[in-house]
Structure 1
Amino acid sequence: MKFWQVSFMVGEMETSFLAEHFSGLCDSVSCLEVDEGQTWQIQLLFSVPPDAAALQTQAETLLGHPVENFLVVELPETDWLREVQVSFPPFSIGRFYIYGSHVKEPPPTDSLPIMVDAATAFGSGEHPTTEGCLTALEQLARTRTFKNPLDMGCGSGILAIGITRLWQVPVAAVDNDPESVRVTLENARLNGVLPLISAETAEGYVAKIVAKRKPFDLIAANILASPLVAMAADLKASLAPGGIAVLSGLLTRQEDMVIAAHEEQGLHVQERLRIGEWSTLVLEAS
């Protein structure tokens, strides 16, 4: 099967906006940091030949300026099943055992299994931010019990599924991308936890499920630093006193601004987990 890749360079603050815009127009979107804190490359993957001129016009219209290094490349035909098997072998994060549907061997008996495939929604478990969130959640399970959790920006649903594995409780999940919500529910079905996960497409905390179920005693949000800052007040308003927030999607150099925004709302840092240049924060509401 043939694929075509469209790529171009944008500024850091433009990346998430453009990635979200194009996510529904192609088979997958990848964002690679080229120059720390400044330049990112957006890569769009298509299974049919793309209209390159129209895509470039869209990007430049949205940004209000020309994009740099706009390229279209026809990729060589590949055995994608074999590529997935090689590039996504099973792996463990603490007690969590993450594996794709191509893996036929049963999970280890003492593990917390999560089956998830790399797909159009973010979150196959390999990124340091997902690893940080799952690690933080497992550590919390040693001393805390939660009954009403929320996965904000659920992506593939991997955190929501992980929460059900740890506490066997219903989980609310929200994402502004309908494809992410679809994938979350499909992954919940494949993992046998669909009755426990309710997912909704909405812009953050305005979701109906949030209004219905808040206050939450646990909120996990693996998104990006800027939206974390922008939604700090909404998080506080949705979190019960003494509740826990697990936040990721931020670089270590962005910790201070994310922490400051949440400390203004009365939350306090309990732990910082750093994996490479990525950070996961655990905060508690007063």
Structure 2
Amino acid sequence: MLEGLPPNGAAYVMRLRCDEPTARRVADLIVETFEPADAAAAAFEEQFNTRAWTSGAWIVEVYFGLPPDEESVRGLVEVAAGDEYAAKIEFSRVQQRDWVASSLEGLEAVREGRFVIHGKHGRDRVTSGDIGIEIEAALAFGTGHHGSTRGCLAMINAVAKRRRPYAILDVGTGSGVLAIAAARRFHRRVAAGDIDAVAVVAARGNVRRNQAGAYVRPVLAKGVGHPDLRAGAPYDLIIGNILARPLRSLAPKLKPLLVPGGELILSGLLASDVPGVLSAYRAQGLYLVKRRLIEGWATLLLR
């Protein structure tokens, strides 16, 4: 799992060696607590040799652009994992080049239905009939390992079993993984935007890597404010894998871009976030069709 947008020039890191459930709890709490542009969390299995055995231990790494408040971070770890693990965390300095290498280290290919999301090292996991998507997220949200990304992929598969959308929008595209997945699954043009310039650069690189340039051209956009995103409307499928607060504020802006009977896939939500998000979209005449929960992260399909 790797989620968040590490700040440009991220230079500080927190590390903790623990078991898998603890690693996931700590990383999830960090992602929920900090703004994506302020900190990024990675949780992965410790590996001594990618083709041999692993130790069974997991590593949590949290990257910061500015010196972190170590006492506050230890307090968060204490909430997620207890006093013993809070005392074991270590803080150090890193260079951006170290972040790129570390962020992808140990990440295995992820399968969700026909989709196989992988890095360069996982190309051999793609077999006949799979839709293989190679993602080198590095400085952008979305390797496919996080429960919210996997939930969106599952919902794209669910939509594909019923119909083939003709116009698709991906808001907050991050690494571009969901836009590429939708383009590859439906063979349709996908409008995609992100508020972070680093994410847009990463997404464009991933689009080229997956030969999806004919379908996807990510743009720098705050919400749906870019002319390219509005020009593609109306959409019959909109995807938003962000966080609860921006998703609630986007509700009245997304509704006018959606055709009658169109669908929304929303994620980046903890279970506790769901009622508030559903209320915001219900006020726009959109109702829950399907809900998926993966590792504590909820994905919603609304119509």
Assess same fold via TM > 0.5: yes
Could you tell me which amino acid in structure 1 is paired with residue 109 of structure 2?
A: P
Query: After superposition, where does 1:216-227 map in structure 2 within 5 Å?
Result: 216-227=235-246
What is the CA-CA distance between 1:6 and the residue it aligns to? 4.2
1:5 to 1, 9, 12: 12
Indicate which of 86, 109, 117 corresponds to 2:136. Answer: 117
In 2, Cα distance between the equivalents of 1:6 and 1:197? 34
Stretch moving more, 188-197 or 205-214: 205-214
Q: Is the 8 A contact 2:151 2:299 kept in 1?
A: yes
Given the alignment, which residue of 129, 140, 162 partners 2:159? 140
1:225-264 equivalent positions in 2, closer than 5 A: 225-264=244-283
- Report SS of the residue matched to 1:192: coil
2:172 alignment partner in structure 1: 153
Whether contact under 8 Å (2:13, 2:63) holds in the other structure is: yes
- Describe the SS at the equivalent of 2:127: coil
3-state DSSP of counterpart to 2:34: helix
Distance in structure 1 (CA, Å) of the matches to 2:144 and 2:176:
10
AA of the residue aligned to 2:72: E
1:204 aligned onto 2:206: no
8 A contact 1:146–1:218 mirrored in 2: yes
Please tell me whether the aligned partners of residues 103 and 138 of structure 2 are also in contact (alpha carbons under 8 angstroms).
no
Q: Look up the equivalent residue of 2:122 and give its one-letter code.
A: V
* Cα shift at 1:30: 2.6
How far 1:84 sits from its partner (Å)? Answer: 4.1
- After TM superposition, give the deviation of residue 217 of structure 1 in Å: 0.9
Deviations 1:229-250 (CA, angstroms, capped at 9, x unpaired): 0110001011111111000000
Over residues 23-76 of structure 1, what are the superposed CA-to-partner deviations in whole Å (9 max), with x where a residue is unaligned? Answer: 7xxxxx3389xxxxxxxx993257xxxxxxxx35xx89xxxxx9835984146x
Any stretches of 5+ residues in structure 2 without a counterpart? 1-9, 15-28, 44-59, 75-89
Could you tell me how far apart the structure 2 residues matched to 1:104 and 1:96 are?
Answer: 13
- Which residue in 2 is equivalent to 1:30? 41
**Contact 1:4-1:72 within 8 A present in 2 as well:** no
| Two-structure CA RMSD over aligned residues (Å) | 3.3
Identify the residue that residue 73 of structure 1 maps to in structure 2: 92
What's the CA shift for 1:198? Answer: 1.8
Instruction: Please give the TM-score of this superposition, normalised by the length of structure 2.
Output: 0.73
Indicate the larger mover: 110-119 or 224-233.
Answer: 110-119
Partner secondary structure for residue 122 of structure 2: coil
> Distance in 2 between the 1:82 and 1:269 partners?
38
Indicate the SS of the match to 2:218.
strand
Residues 83/248 of structure 1: CA separation in 2 closer, same or farther (3 Å cut): closer
The one-letter code sitting in structure 2 at the alignment partner of 1:30 is: A
The 3 A distance-change label for structure 1 pair 105 and 245 is same
Q: Distance in 1 between matches of 2:32 and 2:243?
A: 10
Given the alignment of the two structures, is residue 108 of structure 1 paired with residue 127 of structure 2, yes or no? yes
Please give the alpha-carbon distance, in whole angstroms, between the structure 2 residues aligned to 1:242 and 1:254.
Answer: 24
Amino acid in the other structure paired with 1:68: S
- Does the CA-based 8 Å contact 2:175-2:206 persist in structure 1? yes
Contact 2:194–2:222 (CA under 8 A) maintained in structure 1: yes
Number of corresponding residues: 248
SS in 1 for 2:128: coil
* 1:63 paired residue number: none
Question: CA–CA distance in 1 between the matches of 2:164 and 2:221?
Answer: 27
Q: 1:190: how far off?
A: 0.5
Deviations 1:209-232 (A, max 9, x none): 122111111100000001100110
* Correspondence for 1:126 among 139, 145, 148: 145
Distance 1:191 1:224 in 2: 26
SS in 1 for 2:170: strand
Aligned 8 A contact 2:30 2:41 in 1: no
C-alpha spacing 1:14/1:146, structure 2 compared with 1 (3 Å): same
For residues 242-276 of structure 1, the C-alpha deviation after alignment (integer angstroms, 9 at most, x for no partner) is 11100000011111100000000000111011113
The aligned residue for residue 233 of structure 2 is: 214
